[in-house]
Amino acid sequence: MPFESPLETSHELANQINLLANRLKAKNLLLGTAESCTGGLLAAQLTSFAGSSKWFDRAIITYSNQAKISLLGVLPETIQQHGAVSETCARAMLEGLLKQVDIGVAITGIAGPDGGSIDKPVGTVWFAFGQQGHPPSTRLEQFEGSREAIRLQACAFALQQLTQMLQ
């Protein structure tokens, strides 16, 4: 069943980010994002709030395969064998990110309108979530709609999962 974002309004988005921010501050954790198909959109949403520097540390935008390799330490073999849009790649992106922050999310997918295949259609997005000292988790989601809609749904999903991680 496809993920349906309950974050329909900017008010709901603000509430979700405030809840996440409060949980991060309460646990004294710094969040980071490793973004590919979202191109920094999640980080832009997070940092649109005053005071976000108290709980948000960095965004690493690794749109190209080379950026994933050089900035996050993803092995070229990982991308060659599994593809940039894969659970293995998302997990490797997260591992590189968690060397730099306390808690984070890695997002890699196909926002379209081109680039999809039978095995990985447009809207395919892999997520990896983790916190230092805890086992990571991964999720595959299939979003629908325009490029913008897919990117926004991916951000909303990431926000919800990060907030749930910190309950």
Structure tokens at 132: 């230092």
Cα–Cα distance for residue pair 104/127, rounded to 1 Å: 10
Residue 120 has pLDDT above 50, yes or no: yes
Beta strand 137-142 with 124-131 is: antiparallel
Condensed to tens digits (0 to 9), the pLDDT of residues 14-56 reads 899 999 999 999 999 999 999 999 999 999 999 999 999 999 9
Per the CB < 8 A criterion, the answer to whether 35 and 62 are in contact is yes
Please give the average per-residue pLDDT across 65-88, as a whole number.
98
Q: pTM of this prediction?
A: 0.94
Sorted by where each starts, the structural domains of the chain and their CATH numbers stand as 28-165 (3.90.950.20)
Cα–Cα distance for residue pair 125/110, rounded to 1 Å: 6
- Phi, psi (rounded to 5 degrees) for 151: -65, -40
